[in-house]
């Protein structure tokens, strides 16, 4: 089965190599491009990234950008195509206006997105539901995989 979408997973300043490796593995499974926006909390060729991506890491389609501004200038995404996923989102991920060419954006594990990005794109922020008061966040790779499959579900 061929993926007929062009949506992309974007990691903004990822901090944990294992999460990036796992998300890369999901990208290979769904034939998606992985966009990484610096700075990283690790070296991209670090063994932990490859370990989490297993022997699939060599198949990950990666593009890197030096900063958020670099991403916006070079990629020139339409505002409505940028879908941010963060604990602070007021709407659930089910409500996101997924499109075949959208960008699924995820912030760094401990820092999320810079305040100026959150302020500017507040209406584009979504979250996964969490019903227990005993948890403050979900693992980034789990969230990215859940959102990617939800997006894909709209086009299969």
What is 119-131 written as a DSSP string?
A: HHTGGGEEE----
pLDDT of residue 65: 98
Q: What pLDDT does 50 receive?
A: 62
Instruction: Identify the structural domains of the chain with CATH numbers, from first to last.
Output: 8-153 (3.40.1280.10)
Angle between helix 17-30 and 140-153 (nearest 10)? 20
- Evaluate if pTM is beyond 0.85: yes
Q: Which residue numbers in the chain have pLDDT < 70?
A: 1-4, 46-54
Q: Tens digits of per-residue pLDDT, 103-138?
A: 999 999 999 999 999 999 999 999 999 999 998 889
């Amino acid at each position: 089965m061929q993926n007929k979408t062009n949506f992309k997973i974007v990691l903004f300043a990822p901090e944990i190599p294992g999460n990036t490796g796992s998300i890369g593995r999901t990208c290979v499974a769904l034939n998606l491009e992985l966009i990484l926006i610096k700075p990283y909390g690790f070296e991209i060729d670090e063994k932990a990234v490859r370990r989490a991506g297993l022997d699939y890491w060599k198949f990950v389609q990666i593009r890197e950008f030096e900063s958020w501004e670099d991403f916006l200038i070079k990629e020139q995404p339409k505002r409505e195509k940028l879908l941010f996923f963060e604990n602070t989102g007021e709407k659930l991920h089910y409500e996101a206006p997924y499109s075949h060419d959208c960008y699924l954006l995820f912030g760094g594990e401990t820092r999320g997105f810079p305040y100026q990005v959150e302020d500017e794109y507040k209406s584009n922020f979504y979250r996964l539901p969490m019903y227990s008061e005993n948890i403050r966040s979900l693992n980034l790779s789990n969230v990215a995989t859940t959102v990617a499959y939800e997006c894909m579900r709209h086009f299969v």
